[in-house]
Amino acid sequence: MNTAPETRVPEIQDSDFEALLNSNTLVLVDFMVSWCGPCRKVSRFMEKLAETFDGKITIVKIDTEKNREIPQQFEVSRLPEVLLFKNGELVERILGAKPQSTFAEAVTKHL
């Protein structure tokens, strides 16, 4: 029996994005594609962050091959790319597969 591992970081669609930004929590969005090695590495970091900051932030991922509108709107050009939103406003952009501590420090700075 092959079951997918449970994830704390849901994949959302373009249509889900606006409602997400209207929340009162810090929102971290991982822009990725499933076949990208560095993206998979960052996705593992996002899972750990979701566990560490459980209840304090919202973390989601957007597959840029399946969803084009939001990546275009925020000029996502390289993958992986992580954007942090606070009160609906973009407050930080992290390009590339950085160490997990880089993402954790960004979240802590904006909480």
Say which residues have a Cβ less than 8 Å from residue 65's Cβ, sequence separation at least 6. Answer: 33, 34
Taking the whole predicted model, whether its pTM rises above 0.75 is answered as yes
Residue 7 is predicted with a pLDDT of 76
Q: How many whole angstroms separate alpha carbon 27 and alpha carbon 78?
A: 20
Say how far residue 96 (Cα) sits from the centre of its chain.
12
Q: How many whole angstroms separate alpha carbon 65 and alpha carbon 111?
A: 30
Active-site residue, selected from the candidate residues 21, 36, 60, 97: 36
- Say whether 74 is catalytic: no
Q: How many whole angstroms separate alpha carbon 5 and alpha carbon 21?
A: 27
Which domains does the chain possess?
22-110 (3.40.30.10)
Average pLDDT over residues 39-44: 96
Active-site residue, selected from the candidate residues 39, 57, 79, 84: 39
The pLDDT tens digits of the residues spanning 9-24 come to: 999 999 999 998 888 8
- Say whether 24 is catalytic: no
Average pLDDT over residues 71-85: 96
> Which residue, 83, 101, 102, is CA-closest to 91?
83
